[in-house]
Chain A
Amino acid sequence: MRRVIQIIALAVAALLLATGTMMAYDTARIFNENRCWGCLALDPAGKVFDGFWTTYPSIYGGKAGENVSHPGWIADALNHTPVVMLFFWYQGCSSCKVLWDNMRDMGTVTGGEADGDIAMANVTLYSIDFLAGGNQTRSQAFDVYTIDRGAPTTVILLKKDGAIYWYAFEGATYPKDKNGERMTVQALLEEALEETTP
């Protein structure tokens, strides 16, 4: 009897593994590849805002100084509103929730990460669950802007004199300005809007 149970259990487990490998291996790899700040109970702290960038800054390591291949849909969005904000998050990410809730409490955004909207004029928000299988085009933008493959990654883009300027930070804590004061996302967006004002 035990032998029969063993054979059945082996067959079922092998079938589940084969099916699961075909359907979920890549998902597991992506989870493994990305930095889960919630798992670490840490948040990157050394973020500084010292103006918007045109190329990759030094925090991007090997990419530093390279030009950024902004996705076409972002360039299109910047033709409609002067400032675009990207919020990369995924379900289960506690740091993402902390930052989003903070932005909502401050009146910068409304709703939840999945269905939220920006509460500021002249800004377009794309809140992107980059690990969900939905809109691949938008999810792939994460690869362009990610610093350490962590979430949340917040990106603010603006268009000035025909060029795209941008700034990105990772984690739930806000970046510091030149004086060492924390800048909220709202303050960063206001700074971006000011940059676009002739």
Chain B
Amino acid sequence: MTLCGFNCGACPFAYLCIPMAIGAAIVWKQYAESTMQKKRFASQVSFLFISNLAFLVGSTGLIYTYFYCWEAPLAAMACPIGILEHAAIELNLTLGVYLAGFIGLVSVVFGRAACGWACPIGFLQDMIGIKRRVKSTLAQTVDRHGRWLKWAILLAIAPISYITGLMAFTEICPIGGLTATLPTLALDPGAYTYSAFFYPKMLFLAGFFALAVLLIRGWCRHLCPIGAMMAPFNRISLLQLRVDHDNCIHCGRCAEICPMDVDMPEHPASAECVRCGRCVEVCPVDVITLGFT
């Protein structure tokens, strides 16, 4: 495979890495404020690179433990949702076991840290999210109840795929639209016709951007089925946020800065926590730590 065909529009590195690097420079302040955030930035950039390693390693049978499309031009691993759909459509138990093992092991060790430290879509949302917290009571209620949606989506994928015989989520997946469909179109705009799912996919992509811009990590909070797979492991994962409640002064800064609106410092093992560590660095009395238990 050619490393660079001088077609920047088709290159995931040009298409994703350069704009994201520019975005990261713009929002550098949030990464520059601590060593941990600089490490997180390095991790997010590294995983964006690792996600697109097919030009070096070809197509592998590994599974992404975050959201990235296996049809992205240089995707090296398989999409967990695609694997789930295939397992359901073909009633392939071994695929289900493989997926459960992959997601399970990573989640038992890291909890939902993959969302905060590895996921390119989380990285993108970190940069484009404007509104940090929902303030009004109504918005808070909608936000709180809306978080069940991602579990509903996850639970619906397998049965709908089995019943329809189609890859129910993938057909309209906005992340696939962003990381695979648009780069593929950019490669050769005249070479394709659109399937019936193209416009719904683009509509959902527009919705993804609207949600991600209006509410930081809006996709992770409400819709991401992969985040939903990993979220329950936050309670038992080896990587944990710890709060020394005896010395906490309840200043509220940790809750204020949390991109996922986790109820800090009361619920550091919340299923919503992506282990980004923002709360750790703003704590004025250093009672919050992120580490392996």
Contacts and interface: CB of A to CB of B under 8 A. Distances in A.
Nearest to B71: A39
A29 B57 CA distance: 12
Interface in A76-128: 91-92, 94-95, 97-98
A88 to B, nearest CB: 16
B191 A32 contact: no
Interface string A54-85: 00000000000000000000000000000000
Contacts of B71: 35-36, 39-40
Interface string B141-163: 00000000000000000000100
A16 B104 contact: yes
Contact of A31 (B83, B105, B109, B191): B83
Contact of A29 (B61, B108, B176, B233): B61
Contacts of A12: 104
Interface in A18-58: 18-21, 23-33, 35-46
A12 B97 CA distance: 11
Interface string B9-53: 000000000000000000000000000000000000000000000
**Interface range, B side:** 35 or more
B238 interface: yes
Contacts of B60: 29, 32
A32 B58 CA distance: 10
Contacts of A19: 94, 97-98, 101
Contacts of B176: 39-41
A9 interface: yes
B67 interface: no
- How would you classify the secondary structure of chain A's contact residues: helix, strand, loop or mixed? helix
Contacts of A13: 100-101, 104-105, 107-108
A10 interface: yes
Contacts of B95: 20, 24, 27-28
A58 to B, nearest CB: 15
B165 interface: yes
Interface stretch (B115-123, B179-187, B242-250, B259-267): B179-187
A6 B236 contact: yes
A39 B173 contact: yes
B61 A45 contact: no
A24 to B, nearest CB: 4
Interface string B75-117: 1111100110110011010110111111011011100000000
A13 B108 CA distance: 8
Contacts of A172: 195
A97 B165 contact: yes
B82 A31 contact: yes
B59 interface: yes
A144 interface: no
Contact of A9 (B104, B192, B197): B104
A171 B92 CA distance: 25
23 contacts: A2-B293, A5-B236, A10-B105, A14-B101, A16-B97, A20-B101, A21-B101, A26-B61, A28-B83, A30-B61, A32-B75, A33-B59, A36-B71, A36-B167, A40-B184, A41-B195, A42-B192, A43-B193, A45-B192, A46-B190, A94-B167, A94-B195, A132-B90
Interface of B: 58-63, 69-71, 75-79, 82-83, 85-86, 89-90, 92, 94-95, 97-102, 104-105, 107-109, 161, 165-167, 170-171, 173, 176-177, 180-181, 184-185, 190-198, 201, 233, 236-238, 293
Which 8 pairs, one residue from A and one from B, show the smallest C-beta to C-beta distance? A20-B98, A17-B101, A16-B101, A29-B61, A13-B104, A24-B98, A28-B61, A25-B61
